[in-house]
Amino acid sequence: MKKYLLLFSLLTLSWACQQETKTTDQNEDTLENIADTLRYPQEVHLKNLRQLTFGGDNAEAYFSFDNSKLVFQATNPAWGIECDQIFYMSTRGFSGEQPPMLSTGKGRTTCAFFMPGDTSVLYASTHAANEACPEAPRTLNGKYVWPVYPTFDIYESNLEGEIIRQLTSEPGYDAEATLSPDGKKIVFTSDRSGDLELYTMNADGSDVRQITDSLGYDGGAFFSPDGTKLVWRASRPKTPEDIKVYKDLLAQGMVQPTNMEIYIANVDGSGVKRVTSLGKANWAPFFHPSGKKILFSSNHHSPEGGRPKFNLFSINLDGTGLQQITFDDVFDAFPMFSRDGKQLVFSSNRNNGGTRDTNLFIADWVE
């Protein structure tokens, strides 16, 4: 009898420790089993998939240099956040009602990225021009559109939410900033030339250089792991009608992101190469840790006339070897690898109870 009482006590203590600390081996096994229910059987490159947020619209989560934290943007009425703001959390998630907010809580923000040392982040915000949340039109004359706010500028903030410095001050749209692996260069999108082009600058905002010069939207750029190349999404209107639509929308502060392909180039803008020719919307690219492949989101496989379905795909830099990575029925996008290449974070509509919520998920990467 004493033997059974001792066994019962040990099991109770083990259960209590799991609930309180979330760090025991037993709990890790439990979490792994739970995580596997979030992963579709075809998703062979993902393991130990875990959900990090539960409600609202959460997107563009990017790892800190030490791989312990994620910075992301979110809109969540449950947090009192009606307009995209910047937050950060541990890669294990956050405790309490909401994670710490890094942005001012004013205006609209986008595209945050950790700076070297993991004590500050980049992000773009409209708050300096107007503290109110700008409208976010999604359709115009029946066309799906993204707003391009001319009041976006790029800032650096510490983890207490205090702005350290403003990195751009040109009139017009400056946003979508990411950092090179060595922390010395920033790539961003701007319409200061009259078109949406890629630019680079030093981490302190100096030495701004235009990288692209083709008509169309160039955005969402990231550096390769060795810092020598850039990958980004681009539209390339060719016909007179398409060019007019693009220019007319841009004049109204909007773009139509329904026809984009993935491009790469050297960091100085030379050697531009189109990687995908899939049609529809191919976007949110990020380099595989090897530097030889790209992960991106695409709806090219969606049936015509049906609801668009976005999944993650990988492709070699020469455009060969296309492979589907995720298999959700609605939306997977914004993939980013940890800096050691062991984990992948992305946004997804999976496991949202049939709502429109987009949440953040993290998984171990399996080659």
> Where are the chain's structural domains?
65-337
Q: Which has the closest alpha carbon to 86: 97, 99, 95, 77?
A: 99
What is the Cα–Cα distance from 186 to 175, expressed in whole angstroms?
A: 11
Alpha carbon distance 344, 290 (integer Å): 14
Prediction pTM value: 0.90
Q: Shortest CA distance to 110 belongs to which of 173, 158, 156, 60?
A: 60
pLDDT tens digits, the chain, 367 residues: what are they?
444 434 334 333 333 334 344 444 444 444 445 547 999 999 999 999 999 999 999 999 999 999 999 999 999 999 999 999 999 999 999 998 999 999 999 999 999 999 999 999 999 999 999 999 999 888 888 889 999 999 999 999 999 999 999 999 999 999 999 999 999 999 999 999 999 999 999 999 999 999 999 999 999 999 999 999 999 999 999 999 999 999 999 999 999 999 999 999 999 999 999 999 999 999 999 999 999 999 999 999 998 877 789 999 999 999 999 999 999 999 999 999 999 999 999 999 999 999 999 999 999 999 9
Say how many C-beta atoms besides its own lie within 10 A of residue 122's C-beta.
23
The alpha carbons of the chain give a radius of gyration, in whole angstroms, of 21
The architecture in CATH of the region 65-337 reads 6 Propeller (2.120)
d(C-alpha 170, C-alpha 128), whole Å = 13
Q: What is the C-alpha separation between 163 and 39, in angstroms, rounded?
A: 39
Nearest-10 crossing angle of helices 25-36, 2-21: 60
**Buried b or exposed e, range 280-311, using 16+ CB within 10 angstroms:** bbbbbbbbbbeeeebbbbbbbeeeeeeeebbb
pLDDT value at residue 34? 52
Task: Name the 3-class secondary structure at 278.
Answer: coil
**Residue 30 dihedral angles phi and psi, to the nearest 5°:** -65, -45
